[in-house]
Structure 1
Amino acid sequence: MSAIKYIGGLKAYLAAGECVNESSIFRLHYQFTVVLLIGASILLTAAEFFGLPINCITNLDQKNVINTYCWIHSTFTIQDYYLRERGSQVAEPGVGSPQGYDEEIEAKWRFHNYYQWVVFFLFFQAFLCYIPKFIWNTCEGGLMATIAKGLNPGLHREEEVTSRKKVIIDYIVKHIRMHNGYVFKYWFCELLSFVNIIGQLFLVDKFLGGEFLTYGPRVSSFLNILNEKVFITVWFWYVILGTLLGALILYRIALFTLPGLRPRAMHKHNKAVPIETVEAITNKTSIGDWWILYVLSTNIDPLVYRDIMTRLSKEIETANSNSPYNSAGLYSSSSV
């Protein structure tokens, strides 16, 4: 029951934080994937519920001894035996007693010596998946939580919310065009997540002796019962997550190179704000300011957000018209 208890404890890690400052796909990478890998590692130790981690075929009475031997040492499949009929000529594809022994015959054997390391390897994969989140937490420094604090009417008095709205508007106006580093650091962490998943596909392939990249279509040819279920799940999830992250990277590139997409994305995210207001702000701010306001909309009440955006639009326009620096204004339009 201890293994099940530990897996149940992982559910708390999946809970969303009070302040959301990243995309749902990014959270899938550092939350769900980490839980999947650690949970699988724990399950591999729970033989009383899910069977032995390795099951060697033998006619001897002391089967536990043989299983332990196979666990510590490497097992092997025979290349020619993948073509033989299952159930009559071989027990499983590639599995059977070798007929004769010499160097030429042994050259056709494929040894599988990763079994005893699977639990540790899965933990290592989970660690790799958390690295982008760790980097982002270090870079973000709680900025969004600080900005969004006190803007929920259900938890704070109206005068407190009004005061906080003024603070946020003053902050954005004062720090206009100073948030590009924030968004680029976050997008780098998303890119790092994509690189991590693709890199792990090849890392696991190396760990499994060159078998993982085509593991999904050929899963029936593998020996290990529980490892088979674990790695086929990991294979499909990595393919799905890699595709999602790849699409997300393309979307980020589009947002950077096509500024016209930004107001549409923000308006779709929170339709309480008129599209004209969103366009006015987006055209006078940088992509970093846009991202701060975009993420802010997911963390506060929609009506409060609409009020902030309306007042911010007027403040930026006023500051722009009063700017003494150039005729075009301090907050003139920019693609970045």
Structure 2
Amino acid sequence: MVFELFGSVKRLVKLDSVCIDNNVFRLHYKATVIFLVAFSLLVTSNQYFGDPIDCIQRDDIPTNLLDTYCCPIMQDKDKAEQIALLVQYLKANIRFHNSYFFYFVVCEVLNFVNVIIQMYLIDAFLGGAFSTYGLDVLKYTEMDQEARVDPMIAVFPRMTKCTFHRFGSSGDVQRHDALCILPLNIVNEKIYIFLWFWFVFLAIISGIILIYRLVIIFFPHLRYVTLRSRARLTDRNHLRLVMEVAKIGDWFLLYLLCKNMDGQHFRELMQEYSKAIVEDGSGKNLLKYNEKEGLTPTA
């Protein structure tokens, strides 16, 4: 059954309970892998779609021999103590997480580069027809029926002619012509048009993420805004105090913690962390600013 065919893919669908990346990453290493593995299983399962090629001829050439000749090689201790340990780590390593953030950004750049390379390689594999494949298909659907040429058939023909030579009983070379049907190309054309739109979508969303990272790097206030939007239960004064002394790597680590922690627990973490910063003297300048603005932190 088809469910048995895709049973090996179901392990890839399960999401980890702890998230240290983002949805775009998961589109790259989960969704894309699932699609590619599923499509690979699909096109290699001849019990559902038949053989990749079937040649029709009137001579006495064995069918298996002709099919093989005409189709060569087509064949991923309690809550308080835990918060205290986490606060101790954050305070001891404040401003030392920038490298982690920038390594993460490098990985996001590699995601974008990987999509472009994949599109280039598939384009080379299909003889330059993949780069505009999706656009050509969209144009085809809008053309007049009398004047249009199906680009999917041009890239993945469904019928072809094969000429086979062999020595006859007298030693002469005999020529045999056969009409070959390629039923698997009907599946291939649908797979590659889906891959074209999927890779274009990944490239666009990966590019948007890179622009977002640049904005986050050059506009520090947006870091507070993004963290505040996710940590709605947390006292904003605690967040401001922490963000005043934190570098971008510290913000990124806190953002990941906020994604993986209960809102109430993150609120307690920020309360204890801001208290530790005040006791350490790191937040004196911000405290003066807050008192001037009438925003005395409640540590």
Which structure 2 residue ranges, 5 or more long, are not aligned?
Answer: 138-149, 158-184, 287-299
Deviation, structure 1 residue 5: 2.6
Distance 1:60 1:270 in 2: 74
Go from structure 1 to structure 2 and tell me whether the alpha carbon gap of 1:227 and 1:53 turns closer, same or farther (over 3 Å shift).
Answer: farther
> Partners of 2:90 and 2:5 in 1: how far apart?
44
Correspondence for 2:74: 116
Change in Cα spacing, 1:273 to 1:51, as seen in structure 2 (3 Å) is farther
Shift of 1:273: 1.3
Distance 1:174 1:320 in 2: 13
Q: Is 1:202 the counterpart of 2:101 in the alignment?
A: no
Higher relative contact order (CA 8 A, sep 6+): 2
Once structures 1 and 2 are overlaid, which stretch shifts more, 243-252 or 308-317? 308-317
2:78 pairs with 1:160 = yes
Letter in 2 for 1:320: G
Q: Check if 1:294 corresponds to 2:252.
A: no
Using the TM superposition, give the Cα deviation of residue 299 of structure 1 relative to its aligned residue in structure 2, in angstroms.
Answer: 1.2
**Contact 1:267 1:274 survives alignment (8 Å):** no
Structure 2 CA distance for aligned equivalents of residues 322 and 271 of structure 1: 22
Is 1:14–1:31's contact at 8 Å kept on the other side of the alignment?
Answer: yes
When the two structures are superposed, what TM-score results if normalisation uses the length of structure 1? 0.66
The amino acid that maps onto 2:43 is: L
- CA distance in 2 between counterparts of 1:321 and 1:35 reads 48
Deviation at 1:47, TM superposition (A): 2.1
Q: Residue 321 of structure 1: CA displacement? A: 4.8
The answer to whether 1:256 aligns with 2:255 is no
Distance 1:322 1:243, change over 3 A: closer
CA–CA distance in structure 1, aligned partners of residues 54 and 201 of structure 2: 30
Provide the rounded CA distance (Å) in 2 between the counterparts of 1:6 and 1:270. Answer: 43
Residue correspondence of structure 1 range 19-58 to structure 2 within 5 A = 19-54=18-53
Mapping of residues 143-158 of structure 1, within 5 Å: none
Is the Cα contact below 8 Å between 1:54 and 1:225 reproduced in 2? no
Deviation for aligned residue 1:54: 4.4
Question: Does the Cα contact within 8 Å between 2:245 and 2:282 map onto a contact in 1?
Answer: no
TM-fit CA distance, 1:296:
0.5
In the alignment, is the contact (CA less than 8 A) between 2:99 and 2:249 conserved in 1? yes
**Does 2:12 match 1:13?**
yes
Q: CA deviation at 1:16?
A: 1.2
**Residue number in structure 2 paired with 1:243:** 204
Matches within 5 A, 1:222-233: 222=153, 223=157, 224-233=185-194
Kindly indicate whether the alpha-carbon contact (under 8 Å) linking 1:173 and 1:315 is maintained by their aligned counterparts in 2.
yes
Query: 2:246 is matched with which residue: 285, 292, 315?
Result: 285
Q: 1:83-102, aligned counterparts within 5 Å?
A: none
Deviation at 1:316, TM superposition (A): 1.3
Q: State the Cα distance separating 1:302 from its structure 2 match.
A: 0.9
Point out the structure with max Rg over C-alpha: 2
- SS in structure 1 of the partner of residue 259 of structure 2: coil
Whole-Å Cα distance in 1 between the matches of residues 54 and 221 of structure 2? 59
Letter in 1 for 2:74: Q
Q: Partner residue of 1:211? A: 129
- CA, structure 1 residues 254+295, in 2 after alignment: closer, same or farther (shift >3 Å)? same
Between the aligned partners of 1:306 and 1:4, the Cα distance in structure 2 is 45
Contact 1:55–1:225 at 8 Å: present in 2 too?
no
Structure 2 CA distance for aligned equivalents of residues 272 and 304 of structure 1:
10
The equivalent residue for 2:98 is: 180
Relative distance call for 1:295 and 1:270 in structure 2 (3 A) is same
Determine helix, strand or coil for the equivalent of 2:124: helix
Q: CA deviation at 1:11?
A: 1.7
Give the Cα separation in 2 of the matches to 1:275 and 1:28.
33
What CA RMSD, in Å, does the superposition of the two structures yield over aligned residues?
2.5
CA contact (8 A) 2:241 2:283 kept: no
Shift of 1:298: 1.3
Structure 1 unmatched ranges of 5 or more: 73-114, 118-129, 131-158, 330-336
The aligned counterpart of 1:316 is 277
Contact 1:282 1:290 in 2 (8 A): yes
Seen in structure 2, the aligned counterparts of structure 1 residues 302 and 229 have a Cα distance that, compared at 3 Å, is: same
Distance 1:59 1:304, change over 3 A: same
Query: Identical aligned pairs, as a percentage?
Result: 34
Amino acid in the other structure paired with 2:108: E
